[in-house]
Amino acid sequence: MNDLLYNKKTAYIAVFLMMLVSIFILGGNDLRRERLRVMDTALGYNELGIDVVQESAIVLANSANLLVVAGRYIDSGDRRIADIRNTLDNTQFSLNDSTGYRPFDIIVPYVQRLLDDLSIMDIEPRSADQLTEIEINIYAALRRIRLSGYNEIAADFNRLLRNPYTGLIAAVRGISGFWIVGE
């Protein structure tokens, strides 16, 4: 047994394994720290105090309100309304999980298309006021998300994960990327 411990080949293997384990531990800790920085931005701990998760919830809530107003002028079986309704009905998200907002990216193009279609229709003044308020709320929330800097920070983190070395560490440590608003 002593010969095995003093064998050069065994020593090299042991040193290599210790280095590999330490690289995974230190690299994983750095990745977790970077991930927490992105999550802090998403949860409003940024310079402007903009909570991306809450802004996304505002867009989703106003999308539901849009369905109510649009239902007065467009058949509820219409594909534009069905796409939004299906996305909202199948949306499960947590306010503490910024990666769970994929439906947000799916719904925004449908909402924009429906708002464009409704803007050229002849709509009674009360509904027009409601549509204006919904449109202002949605576009203001999207603008605040872009102002928060979340997209840039999340995109930088996702690029970091594309590196084969850090991607391997991320896979081993269970670290995933983030969604980007508008992509």
Query: Is residue 141 within 8 Å of 65, Cβ to Cβ?
Result: no
Residues 25, 56 share a domain: no
> Average per-residue pLDDT in the chain?
79
pTM beyond cutoff 0.75: no
The total domain count for the chain is: 2
- Is the pLDDT at 157 greater than 60, yes or no? yes
Would the pLDDT of 61 be above 50?
yes
66 touches 115 (CB < 8 A):
yes
* Boundaries of domain holding 95: 51-147
Within the chain, what is the greatest distance between any pair of CA atoms? 91
Mean pLDDT along residues 50-71: 84
Note whether 101 and 111 are same-domain residues. yes
**What pLDDT score does 1 carry?**
52
Q: Is the pLDDT of residue 39 over 60?
A: yes
State how far the alpha carbon of 137 is from the alpha carbons of 35, 131, 132, 141, in Å.
29, 10, 9, 6
Q: Based on the domain organization, do 124 and 70 belong to the same domain? A: yes
Query: What is the pLDDT at residue 2?
Result: 61
Statement: residue 98 has pLDDT above 60 = no
**Tens of pLDDT, residues 81-90:** 777 777 777 6
